[in-house]
Amino acid sequence: MATPLLHRFSFFERIVHWVVGVTFVVLLATGLAFAYPALFWLTTVLGGGAAARALHPQIGSLFGVGMLCMFGLWVRDMFLDGQDRAWLGAIKHYVTHDRDKVPPAGKYNAGQKLFFWVQSLLGIVFIVTGGLLWFPELFGAAWLNTARLLHYAATLGGGLFLIVHVYLGTIAYPGTARGMIEGKVTPAWAKLHHPRWSGDRVDR
Amino acid sequence: MPDTLAIKRISATPSALIPLNSLRSGGPVYSKLVDISKCIGCKGCEVACKEWNDLKVEQTTNFGSFQSHKDLSSNTWLLMRFNEVEVGDDLSWMIKKDACLHCEEPGCLFSCPAPGAIVQYQNGIVDFNQDHCIGCQYCVSGCPFDIPRFDKETKTVAKCNMCIDRVEAGLEPACVKTCPTNAIEWGIKEDMLALADKKLDRLRERGYEHAAIYNPGGVGGTHMMYVVPHGDRLEDYSLPAHPTASPGQLRGLNVLQRVGSYLLGFGVISAFVHFLAVGPESPEESA
Ligand code: HEM
Ligand code: SF4
Ligand code: SF4
């Protein structure tokens, strides 16, 4: 196929995304190990319970830096416009792949934009509550117990959204992962998933 | 012969919720009884604790108090606190034997995510097993009495173990053994409760009309109980009036964790079902 590929994510964008992605998955595994005794064996991934406890906040710091970069890189593309609101109204057609009834998306569809905002918000919750739990000597029991509750609530939210995100980015929409790995996508993919964006690209 | 070290609960295992009840249970259930009115402030118990448990000596400083150390530490499992309080026109020491109370419902154990790091025995003793401790310090915020202390060198947590090695051998804890006035007594918990009642009667005769026993129900009772002369002034003794083994946030956390495990599983299954139902959406197909 001789069709030129469309540039979607720069090298830096991809590095930042995968720092966030990989650290998040490791944090999720060790975090769930601390939450569920039946999953405690997952700490083995990082060398056992004590090592996992020591590394979790350090990896969390890397995640925090990654999230900050990601926010800075992408925030200006993430504000919802009128068509995005229409897209949200038609979300059930999006789910059932009824493309004709789905308003065209720009570089990101409204779902992706919301995912961005939710993860940014949860990122703040993770960092603040995780910081408290990292230095428990500095805080009282009530604060720490509240922090544990919120840290887990964020894990649950982040985990659920991640399932959807990974599913859509890999097996549900073939050709999407390529954009985050090679940085490029096919024009057909762009036309299907992000018609307004693909139009932009062609004009340029 | 019942096993003196039969296990009741192990942290981060199902037994934390449903206590083990083995054939080997039914042994004696012990308790310390600390009669604050009989303490003469000699701190012999502190020394005995250090000696028996081979705990490091810490440099102390004079901070204008009769108290030896400012606080408990991973090497100081017992501290006699001398709170100076005015009673009427008089200065009074509200003495507290600050150490693990060995709760019947131990908040530390309920909070601990590491299987086996905290063990409760049928005899009432709650002990930390540092080999399994991951150093998260959740037990510290789970304990309503602020007892466990983190050791920065070993990255584990330590506290009074009720001289479990002595108890196993049929001996009383070292602090009990050493106390010259029998302010600390040791025995079967029921006997200690009966003894406490007698002590209360005597204190009331002596004019301590608010004398009370401290064996708080919020943690299911404790295996170190206090006879408190001024039972209406618990806060002056640094004794929480309403300690609880499961504060609201941690109860909420437990509920959320249970719901969460189903939600996460449901999420994965839903994605799979969606894939089976509508399949992937490839550009080639719709183009
Ligand atoms: C480890 C598993 C992950 C995989 C396989 C994955 C995959 C992808 C893919 C393929 C894209 C490109 C979507 C497109 O081109 O439209 C993407 C974008 C994105 N990723 Fe991830 N990702 C993962 C983890 C994460 C995590 C943990 C976060 C944040 C906490 C995250 C945040 C984002 C955001 C905000 C975008 C842009 C908006 C969007 O596509 O929703 N990703 N990801
Ligand atoms: S006093 Fe604290 S450390 Fe001791 S058993 Fe109770 S909760 Fe655990
Ligand atoms: S510090 Fe150790 S004993 Fe305390 S809760 Fe964490 S793993 Fe359990």
Q: Are B149 and B73 in contact (CB under 8 A)?
A: yes
pLDDT for B115 equals 97
For A110-145, b/e burial (b = at least 16 CB within 10 A) is bbbbbbbeebbebbebbbebbbbbeebeeeebebbb
Q: At residue B1, does pLDDT exceed 80?
A: no
Cα gap A70→A74, rounded to integer Å:
6
Q: At residue A199, does pLDDT exceed 70?
A: no
Q: At residue B68, does pLDDT exceed 50?
A: yes
Q: At residue A2, does pLDDT exceed 70?
A: no
Q: Please confirm, yes or no, whether A165 is among the known catalytic residues.
A: yes
The predicted model gives A142-170 an average pLDDT of 97
Percent of chain A exceeding pLDDT 90 equals 94
pLDDT tens for each residue of B98-147? 999 999 999 999 999 999 999 999 999 999 999 999 999 999 999 999 99
Q: At residue B32, does pLDDT exceed 80?
A: yes
Band (pLDDT 50/70/90 cuts) for residue B4 is confident
In 3D space, the residue among B67, B41, B75 whose CA is nearest the CA of residue B181 turns out to be B41
A-chain CB neighbours of B247 within 8 Å are 141-142, 145
Q: What is the ipTM of this complex?
A: 0.90
Band (pLDDT 50/70/90 cuts) for residue B286 is very low
The C-alpha of A187 sits at a distance from chain B's nearest C-alpha, in angstroms, of 9
Residue from B79, B97, B101 to probe ligand 2 pocket by mutation (most atoms less than 8 Å from CB): B101
pLDDT tens for each residue of A84-102? 999 999 999 999 999 999 9
Q: Is A54 on the interface with B (CB under 8 A)?
A: yes
pLDDT for A203 equals 40
In 3D space, the residue among B96, B153, B170, B157 whose CA is nearest the CA of residue B126 turns out to be B157
- Closest Cα in chain A to B149: A137
Q: Where are the alpha helices (DSSP H) in A40-186?
A: 49-74, 82-89, 91-95, 110-134, 141-167, 176-181
Mean pLDDT of chain B: 94
Output the CA A11–ligand 1 centroid distance in Å.
15
pLDDT tens for each residue of B168-227? 999 999 999 999 999 999 999 999 999 999 999 999 999 999 999 999 999 999 999 999
Pick left, alpha or beta for residue B246 (phi over 0 → left; psi -120 to 50 → alpha; otherwise beta): beta
Cα gap B6→B120, rounded to integer Å:
9
Q: At residue A25, does pLDDT exceed 70?
A: yes
By Cβ distance, the residue of A50, A175, A191 closest to B135 is A50
